[in-house]
Amino acid sequence: MNDNISGWNDWQIAIEDWSDVSISELHGLMTGLMTACNAPDEDVWAQVLEELSFAPLPEAALTLLTEEAEDTVFQLKDQDEAYAFSPLVPDDEHDLLERIVALKHWSNGFMTGFGVSDCRISADENEMLADLAKIGAIRIEDEDDFEGGEEAYLQLFEFARMVPVSLATRKRKAVKELPLIAGLAIDAKTAKEYKAEAKSAKAMPPVIDVMNQNRPS
């Protein structure tokens, strides 16, 4: 799917002044949440991102994220449409390395988003997520370091693509009722405050630590 059809170009324009995470990682985060939750409105998305210590999204990007989440939920809830789901990564006109890095970022974003959803998982689902985490842990310097080339990338992409399809069969939750938001006491510290006060990575809430370890350089 080319960049115009996938929406990649629209995302580039919408978040050109926002660089907390990559386009693919933000899309992965959204997908992870929407695998288990109903699509929230813009205000709730803004709150989720704030609790994850992100800078506010530009208005156009927040609207795009909200609309993309609605489309993703609709797609994943439809058994026929779900199999057409695709992670948001650059098309094959881009260098292989760029696409691998984008898939790595998407996988890490998904792990964070699904983790925020606070779902119980089966042994099979745990194994699937462990394999997705391996994609998120890929370390390469250039295309020559990636064994298998295009064929291997396509296999990883297909696996990642099917993870939300496989996990989206559970009963959906409301994002505003998740512990990340609903579980906060009035005087509870936000994720941003935890980050500011943390003296080491061990002091950070796990969901923040995971995202910070995998942000693009």
122-180: pLDDT as tens digits: 999 999 999 999 999 988 777 667 777 889 999 999 999 999 999 999 999 999 999 98
User: What predicted TM-score, i.e. pTM, was given to this entire model?
Assistant: 0.81
Report the CATH number at residue 49. 1.20.120.740
Residue 146 domain-assigned (yes or no): yes
**Residue 43's CB: how many other CB atoms inside 10 A?**
11
- CA-nearest of 55, 97, 91, 49 to 69 is 49
Burial track 178-215 (b if 16+ CB lie within 10 A, e otherwise): bebbeeeeeeeeebeebbeeeeeeeebbebbbbbeebe
Q: Taking the CA atoms of the chain, what radius of gyration do you get in angstroms?
A: 17
Based on the number of CB atoms within 10 Å of its own CB, is 45 exposed (0-12), middle (13-18) or buried (19 or more)?
Answer: buried
How does pLDDT run across 107-134, given as a tens digit for each residue? Answer: 999 999 999 999 999 999 999 999 999 9
Tell me: pLDDT of 41 over 70.
Answer: yes
Q: Long-range CB contacts (< 8 A, 24+ apart) of 142-149? A: 142/97, 143/95, 143/96, 143/97, 143/100, 146/96, 146/97, 146/100, 149/96
Token pair listed for 178? 């998740």
Residue 197 domain-assigned (yes or no): yes
Residue 34 domain-assigned (yes or no): yes
Taking CA atoms, 172 is separated from 70, 77, 163, 202, in Å, by: 13, 10, 16, 31
Q: CA–CA separation, 182 vs 178, rounded Å?
A: 6
Alpha helices by DSSP H, listed for 52-189, are 59-77, 79-82, 96-116, 123-136, 149-167, 179-182
Total tally of structural domains belonging to the chain: 1
Residue range(s) defining the domain that contains residue 21: 3-212
Residue 145 domain-assigned (yes or no): yes
pLDDT confidence of residue 215: 43
Percent of the chain scoring above 90 in pLDDT: 64
Residue 217 domain-assigned (yes or no): no
